[in-house]
Structure 1
Amino acid sequence: MPADRALPEDFHALYDAGARSARGTAPSAFSAPVSPGHLRLAGQLGDLEADYDQVTQLPHRITRRAPAGGLSGEASASAEETVQRFVTEHGDLWRLSEADAQGVEVVSVSGRGLRTVQLVQRAEGVEVFNSEATAAIGPDGAVVSVAGQFFPGAAEARSARTATTTSAEEAIALAAYDLTGVEYDSTAFSEVSAETGDSAGGSYRFYRSAEPAGGGRPAFERTVRVKDVLFPLGEQQFAPGYYLELWIEGFPAFSYVIDALGEPEVLFRKNLRADAAFTYRVFNTGDALFRPEDGPAPGSPHPTGQPDGFQAATIPEQLVTLESLLPGAPWLPEDATTTRGNNCIAYADLRTPNGHSPGDVEGRTTGPRTFDHPYDSTRPASDPANVQASLVGMFFHVNWLHDRWYEAGFDEAAGNAQQHNPGGAGLGGDPILAEGHDFSGTDNANMQTPADGASPRMQMYEFVGVAPLPSRTSNFDALITYHELGHYITNRLVGNASGLANQQGRALGEGWGDFFAISMTSQASDDFPTGAFPAGGWTDLTPTFTDNYYFSIRRFPYSADLGKNPLTFKHISNGVVLPAGPPHHPHGGGPNSAVHNAGEVWCAALWEIFVNLVAHHGHVEAERRMLEYVVGGLKLTPSMPTFTLARDGIITAVTVLHPEDLPGVWRGFAKRGMGAGAVSPPSTSASLAGVVESFTTT
C-alpha cells in the first residue's frame, strides 16, 4: 500500500445519519418503540425481554426473563420446524408482513454446545443484508432466544424492483477504486467458475481481472466473491446491491456492498483485518488436552505479581503424538509431508505476492509422519530451521483451537473454516491460511476474516524490536495466535463477518481475543484469585521496556484482583480518568474508547466469570463450560452490538445450558460494572459515552 494512502474507514449506510438523510430515510426520534408482535407476545408470556436496535427501531434480541423460559409453544418434530413456525407466527415482532416472514429461511442447525438454528431473510431468493439471526433451542426443543433482526418491507421492495443499472463488474471496479485510489476498468473483470479453494456453494459468483500484472494497478490476490443482496436503508426502503470481498496486493482484505441502481455508490465497507501485537509460540504442557504453553518462554501468571522487570527463561519443546482432538477428524491425511490440512494451511509467506506463491515455504516433515524441528532461541527467527519449527507450532495452534471451539459449538453449521465439511452444513473451501514470518510487516500480527466459504488469513510477523537480542517470531506464540484466531471466530459468529462494524463491536472483538489467549493457555495450578495474566510477553520486550511479562501491550494485566486491574465498565468512555494506585503500562495511552483499550474492560469481565467457574468446578470443567458459554453467547450476539447485548447473549447461553452457573456469571459481570442495571452507550457511539454502571446481579 502506498505510504501516503490512508485506508478508507468502515461505513454502514443504514447506521450513518448523513447517508440516510440524503436518501430520505432518516429515522424518527428513538422513543423505545414496541412492535405489535412485542405487545402480543408480552401479553401471552408476561416476562418478555426485548432489546431494540436504536437506529432501525427493530428488536435484535428477544428472550424471557424467567430462567430457561421458552418463547415458542410446543416443540415441533425438528428444531428447524420449531423456529420456522415461531417466525411465521410472530413475524410482527419485527413488523414483518406475511410475505416478509415467509422469506426467513433456516440456513443451518448447530447441535454442539448450545443448540442453535441460523436464519437469514430473503426476498425472492435474494438475501437481505445483515439479516443473519440465530435462535437458541432449549432442552425441551422450544425457542428460548432470538438474536438478530429481520427487516419489514423487503418482499414488497423486491417485487417492485426495477432493473439494475450497475453491473457486478462496475461494482467491483468502484470498490477497488475506493480502496486503492487507482481506477480499474470494469470491462477487465469477467465471471469465472469457482476455483479450488473457493466455495462452490451459497449464492456467490466469482470474478477475475484479466489485466496483466505490472500495469500500474495493484493486483488481485484472489478472485472476487460477489452475491446479490437487498440493502436495508430504513423506513422499509431497500437498495439492490452487490456484496463483494476484495483481496488486493498491498492492502488489507475489505468487504463492500455497492448500490446496483443509478450511479454506483458504497453502501457498506468493512476492513476485514484485525490488528494486534502479541507474541508467543506453542511449546506444549503435555496435559490431557495437549495444551500449548504460552510461548517459548512462558511467564504467565507473573511470578511476583509486580512490575519488577521479570524475564522468563526459555523451556524445551516436547514431542507430542496426536491425530486430533476430534475422533475421525484428523488434522492431516496419512501421507501428508507438509503443514497443509483440512482446517489450516500453514506456511511462511516470505515474499510477494501475498498468499502462497513460489518461494514461500510450508512446514515439512523430518521423517514419516514426524515434524521434528527444534527452535534455537539464540538465533534469529528468520533462521530457516527456526522458521520450520515455528510453522509447525503455528499449525498445531490453529488446529488445536479449531477442535476445542468445534466441541463448544463452532462447527460447520456455525460457519467454521474447513476445506471440506463432512456433515454438509455451512460452506467449505475455506481453510485458514496461516501465513508465518510474513514479508509485509514486523512486530505485529493480524487476522482477516471474510464470510463463510472464503479462507480467513492470519498474518504473523517477525519481531525485531527486541534488538540487540535475536529476533523473535509470533508464529508459535500462543498468546498472539490465540488472540488473532479470536478475531476469526468472533467475526464469523457475529453477522458472518459483517456484524462487528461499530466501535463497541470492534472493542468486543479485541476483548474476546484477549480472553481466548489468557484463558486457553491457563493451567490448573495458576493463581486465579490474585494472579496477573498478561496477554503477551515474550515478543513485547524492547531496550526501553522490560515489564513485558506484567503489562504486555495492555494498560493493566488481567486479574481478578482489583488492585492489579481496576477497570470497570465506565472506563470504556472517553474522558473517564483511570483509577490511581494500581501500576499501569508506562507507554499505554490513547482514548478509553480505542478498541484495544475498551476491549480490556470486556476481557476483564469474562475473566471474572472464568475465575468464578474455576473456583466452583475446577479448571478443566470450568474451561469446558466457559467455552460453551462464550461460543453460545457469540451466536446470540446481534450485529452492531453493545457490551450489554454481548453480555445478554452469554446470559442466555448459560440459562439454557447450565442455569446453576447464573449466579457466578452475574457476579463476574457485576464486579466490572456490567450488572443487571447496566446501560451501554448507543450502538453507533464513537466516544462510548453514556455508560451507566451497575454492580448488582438482579
Structure 2
Amino acid sequence: MRSDPLTGGLRLLAKRDGFLTGPRAASPRRVALDYLGQRADAFGLDEDDLAAFELSHGYTSESGATHLQWQQTYRGIPAFDEGLRANVAADGQLINIGGAPRPDLAVASTVPRIGAREALHTVARSAFARVPLGPAGPSRGPQRATRFDRGHRASLVLFGDPSRVRLGWRVLLWAGTEGVLDAVVDAGTGELLYRNDLTRNAAALAFDNHPGAPQGGVQTPKDFSAAWLSDPGRLIGPNAWVHSDPNDTHFEGTLPTATDEIPPTGGAWNYVQAPQAGLICPAVGCSWAATSGGSWMTNRRQAGTQLFYFVNLFHDHLRDAPGIGFGASSGSFEGSDPLYAQIDDGAGTGMGSLPDCSSVNNASMIVLPDGTPGLMETFLWTSGCGAAGVYDVNGADDASIVYHEYTHGLSLRLVTDPAGYGALNGPQSAAMGEGISDWYALDFLEAFGFQPDTSAPAEIRAAVYENAAARTQGFDCPVGESTGACPGTPTAGSGGYTYGDFGRILGSPEVHADGEIWVETLWDLRRALIGAHGASDGINRVRALITDGLRLSPAGPTFLDMRNAIVQADVNRGFGDRDLIWAVFAARGMGVNARTSADNDTHPVEDFTAPPPLPGPPPPGDETAPVISGFTMTAKRFRVGLDRTPQAAAKRRRRTPVGSEFRFRLSERAKVVITIERALPGQKVGRSCRPPSRRLRGRVRCTRYKKQGSITRSKRPAGRNAIDFSGRIGIRPLPRGRHRVTVSATDAAGNRSKRRRISFTIVRK
C-alpha cells in the first residue's frame, strides 16, 4: 500500500505475492468498481466521488489481464493526474488498484479568467521559445478544448497540490528546438504550474544491425510487403511514414514537401550506401562529411530506406513476439496514428547546408496520447561539435538507436496518466524509461543473432556504430566485476551498478546514466530466466514479465514500484519464478528492505535482502468453510467510548468502559473481518438506493449503507470468541445513528464462511 504525497489518496494497493480478490465471473470493470465501492473509506472517497469517475481507456493484453483507467472529473473537467487504475486477471481476480484519486475534487468556479491563447503564450515564454500559434478552432465541451492550426492544443483541467485544487489550462505546445511541451497554466492567474518536455532523446536494401557490424553489417535485399507499404512512390504505410526534415520544420499538422519524400528508383529502394570522407570514420567508411556542405544528401535515400525497414520490423516484433503483444488495443503506432519517422533532422540548419551543433549526435521520440501519431527524429553524428571520437555517420543506420527510440513509444503508451500522456517523467521513472528502451533494443538484437551475449562481461552495448560514449559501460556488467571490462565511473565505482548508485554515476542525477542501473538489472533477469528455462522459454518469460510490469505499474513509478509490478506479473502469469526474480533485484540493491519516498527521490536506500520463500500450499482436501454462529452484541444501543478500537490485532484488549462487545462462535481457527456500515436515507432508482436529491424528490424512500471501516482479527480460535468494540474504527468515532455490522471468517485454506449480520445504534453522550 502506497499513499500519494499530494492527494493523500492511495497511489497503489496490491499484494506482491498474490491477488486482492478471488476469482469472479463478472466484467473487469465491475470487479474493480465493486472493490473500490466496498473499500471507499480506505481511499477517502464517498458516493459523489465514485460517481465522478469516467472510464478513459481499457484493453485486454496477451496475458488475459484487462487494464483499465478512469479519469476523475468535476463538472466534466478532468483532474490533471488524479484518477483510477485497475488491473484484473483473466479469471476475475483483482491484481492491483490505485491512482491516488482526490477526495471531494472541486473548484469554486469552472470559468477561466485567461484564455487558451494566453496560456500558450505563457508556456512559450517560460521556454524562451518564439512560436507562431496560428488561428484557433472553436472551443468544445466543458473542457473548452481548443486546437490551433500549428498543432498546439489547450483544454481545462483541475490541478491539485497538497493544499488546494486550481482550475488550469493543460497546454500542448510544439516549441521547435525547445521540444514538445506538456504544461499546465493557472486559468485564474496565468502562473505556470507544470511543464514537461515530451521529447525523448537519445523490395529494398537494408542492414539488420549497423554498417560494418560483425553480424548484420552488410546490406541485403528486403521485401517491403503491402503490410508495410501503401504507396509505391514513397515510404509510407499503415505503420510508418519516413521522410527527411533537413530544416527541422515538420511537426504535428505540417506535411513534408515532395523533395523530403523518399521515392524508389526503378520501382525499388535498392540504394547502396556510398562511403564518404568524414572527419573520423569507422572501418566501413563514413556516411557523410561534416566538413562538406550537403554531403548528407548523397545517402539520404539509403538512410530513409533503412529507417523505414527498422521501424516496420520493430513494430511487427513488438506486436507479434510472445510475451509483448504491443498491438492496436495497447496503443501501438498503426492505422490512424502511425509513426512519423524523420531522417537527417536539422541537417541543413547551419551554414553551407550543414547541421548546426544543436542538430547532431542525438535521436528523439515524441509520444502523445493514443490516437495521435508519434514522431521519431534521427540526426547526423559527428565529432565536429566537440564530441571527441564520434564518427561522421547517420543515426538512422543504427538499429540500437532506432529501436531504443521506438521503445519509448511502447513504455509511454503503457504507463500513462488518466488523460493518456506518458507518465515516466520523474528522475526514477524517466531513468527506467531509458533503461527499458536500451533493454528492448538489445534483447531483439541478441535474440536474432546480431549481438552475441557470451559469459564475458561488457559485450552488450549501444551506439557502437557511432563510437559514442552513450553509456558508461556494457549492459551485461555483473555487480562486483573487477577485470576492468566494467570500469564504472569515479563517483560510482567499478562493476555493475546497484540502486544505491542512483544519482552518483555521473555525480548527479541523469536519466541515461541512472537508467544503466535498470537495464543492467533487467539483463541479469534475462540471463537468469534463460539459465532456468532455456533460451526460447526464458526470453518469452522475461519479455512477458517486463511488458506486463509496465501495464501493471502505477503512473510515475519508482524502481521499487516497477520491481513489485514485475513480481505481480509473475503471479498473474503463473510462471512460478518469484524467488528467482527477487534474487536478481536483491543483488542489485532492490531487496525487500530497500526504501524510496517517491519518483523524485534521488537518494534511495538500497538493500540486498531477498524475502523468505513463500509458505507451501495448505494441506489438500480442505474445502470446508468455517461456520459462524451465535453472532450478537452485549449492547446494541451504546455511546462511543474513549479508547480506540484497533483495526487489526491478534490480542484481546481490556473491555471498554462504554461501548459493546461482539460475541460469536467459530467452528475452526480462522481470520475474522468485521465490517461496519452507516445507515443513511435514500430514494429508489431501479434496484439501487441513491442519495436524496431534488431530482429524485417523490421517489420511494429506502435505506442505503455507507461503509465506515473494518476490524480484522487474525487467527481467532475455534469456539467462543469475544471482541471489544468502543464504537470507534481505530481512533475515529462512529457518527450517531443506526449502523449494521457484518462478520465473515476465512480459514487457512482460503475457505470463507457465510456472512452474519446485525444492527446497532450509536447514541449521544
Q: Shorter-normalised TM-score: what interval?
A: 0.7 to 0.9
Structure 1 residue 123 displacement after superposition: 2.6
Deviations 1:147-196 (A, max 9, x none): 53222111xx15x5352212222212222222225598x9x6422599xx
**Which residue does 1:442 correspond to in 2?**
360
Change beyond 3 A, Cα 1:619–1:177? same
**Which residue does 2:691 correspond to in 1?**
none
Structure 1 residue 203 displacement after superposition: 7.2
User: Do the aligned residues in 2 keep the contact of 1:524 with 1:618 (CA within 8 Å)?
Assistant: no
**Which residue does 1:391 correspond to in 2?**
304
Deviations 1:114-167 (A, max 9, x none): 42322122233222111354322223122211253222111xx15x53522122
Q: Which amino acid aligns with 1:578?
A: G
Q: Which amino acid aligns with 1:163?
A: V
- Secondary structure of the corresponding residue to residue 190 of structure 1: coil
**In structure 1, distance between residues paired with 2:329 and 2:79:** 20
Question: Of residues 569, 590, 602 in structure 1, which corresponds to 2:518?
Answer: 602
Query: As a proportion of its length, which structure holds more helix?
Result: 1
**In structure 1, distance between residues paired with 2:206 and 2:142:** 39
Aligned: 1:268 with 2:194: yes
Structure 1 residue 449 displacement after superposition: 2.1
**In structure 1, distance between residues paired with 2:233 and 2:482:** 46
- Secondary structure of the corresponding residue to residue 32 of structure 2: helix
Question: Of residues 14, 19, 31 in structure 2, which corresponds to 1:82?
Answer: 31
Change beyond 3 A, Cα 1:489–1:418? same
**In structure 2, distance between residues paired with 1:563 and 1:323:** 48
Structure 1 residue 479 displacement after superposition: 0.8
| Residues 274-353 of structure 1 mapped to structure 2, 5 A cutoff | 274-276=200-202, 292-293=208-209, 295-298=210-213, 315-321=217-223, 323=225, 330-333=227-230, 335-353=231-249
Moved more, 118-127 or 354-363: 354-363
Question: Of residues 38, 47, 51 in structure 2, which corresponds to 1:102?
Answer: 51
Aligned length: 560
Aligned: 1:363 with 2:262: yes
| Residues 618-697 of structure 1 mapped to structure 2, 5 A cutoff | 618-680=534-596, 682-685=598-601, 688-697=602-611
Aligned: 1:456 with 2:371: no
- Secondary structure of the corresponding residue to residue 512 of structure 1: helix
User: Do the aligned residues in 2 keep the contact of 1:130 with 1:499 (CA within 8 Å)?
Assistant: no
- Secondary structure of the corresponding residue to residue 433 of structure 1: strand
User: Do the aligned residues in 2 keep the contact of 1:344 with 1:399 (CA within 8 Å)?
Assistant: yes
**Which residue does 1:375 correspond to in 2?**
273
Structure 1 residue 502 displacement after superposition: 1.5
Structure 1 residue 615 displacement after superposition: 2.0
**Which residue does 1:197 correspond to in 2?**
none
**Which residue does 1:578 correspond to in 2?**
493
Deviations 1:284-316 (A, max 9, x none): 5xxxxxxx43x223359xxxxxxxxxxxxx832
Change beyond 3 A, Cα 1:658–1:452? same
Change beyond 3 A, Cα 1:146–1:528? farther
Q: Which amino acid aligns with 2:157?
A: V
**In structure 2, distance between residues paired with 1:387 and 1:634:** 36
Structure 1 residue 340 displacement after superposition: 1.3
Q: Which amino acid aligns with 1:449?
A: V
Structure 1 residue 555 displacement after superposition: 1.6
**In structure 2, distance between residues paired with 1:84 and 1:565:** 53
**Which residue does 2:395 correspond to in 1?**
474
User: Do the aligned residues in 2 keep the contact of 1:681 with 1:691 (CA within 8 Å)?
Assistant: no
Aligned: 1:63 with 2:14: yes
**Which residue does 2:123 correspond to in 1?**
175
User: Do the aligned residues in 2 keep the contact of 1:494 with 1:638 (CA within 8 Å)?
Assistant: yes
Q: Which amino acid aligns with 1:452?
A: D
User: Do the aligned residues in 2 keep the contact of 1:463 with 1:539 (CA within 8 Å)?
Assistant: no
**In structure 2, distance between residues paired with 1:72 and 1:153:** 30
Question: Of residues 250, 254, 258 in structure 1, which corresponds to 2:185?
Answer: 258
**In structure 2, distance between residues paired with 1:477 and 1:371:** 18
**Which residue does 2:66 correspond to in 1?**
116
User: Do the aligned residues in 1 keep the contact of 2:206 with 2:221 (CA within 8 Å)?
Assistant: no
Aligned: 1:136 with 2:87: yes
Q: Which has the larger radius of gyration?
A: 2
Structure 1 residue 384 displacement after superposition: 4.0
Q: 5+ unaligned residues in a row in structure 2: which ranges?
A: 276-284, 289-294, 350-358, 498-503, 613-765
Deviations 1:593-635 (A, max 9, x none): 2212211101111111111122233333333332222222112
Change beyond 3 A, Cα 1:163–1:380? closer
Aligned: 1:533 with 2:459: yes
Deviations 1:88-125 (A, max 9, x none): 33333321221111222323332222423221222332
- Secondary structure of the corresponding residue to residue 397 of structure 1: helix
User: Do the aligned residues in 2 keep the contact of 1:405 with 1:631 (CA within 8 Å)?
Assistant: no
Structure 1 residue 360 displacement after superposition: 4.8
Change beyond 3 A, Cα 1:694–1:133? farther
TM-score (norm 1): 0.73
**In structure 1, distance between residues paired with 2:235 and 2:131:** 38
Q: Which amino acid aligns with 1:527?
A: D
- Secondary structure of the corresponding residue to residue 475 of structure 1: helix
Deviations 1:422-477 (A, max 9, x none): xxxxxxxx322211111161122122222333332221111122899972111131
Change beyond 3 A, Cα 1:653–1:589? closer
Change beyond 3 A, Cα 1:692–1:538? closer
**In structure 2, distance between residues paired with 1:360 and 1:118:** 44
**Which residue does 1:219 correspond to in 2?**
none
Q: 5+ unaligned residues in a row in structure 1: which ranges?
A: 1-49, 195-200, 210-221, 277-281, 285-291, 301-313, 325-329, 421-429, 542-547, 583-587
**In structure 2, distance between residues paired with 1:257 and 1:484:** 26
Q: Which amino acid aligns with 2:585?
A: F
**In structure 2, distance between residues paired with 1:318 and 1:657:** 39
Question: Of residues 122, 136, 154 in structure 2, which corresponds to 1:226?
Answer: 154
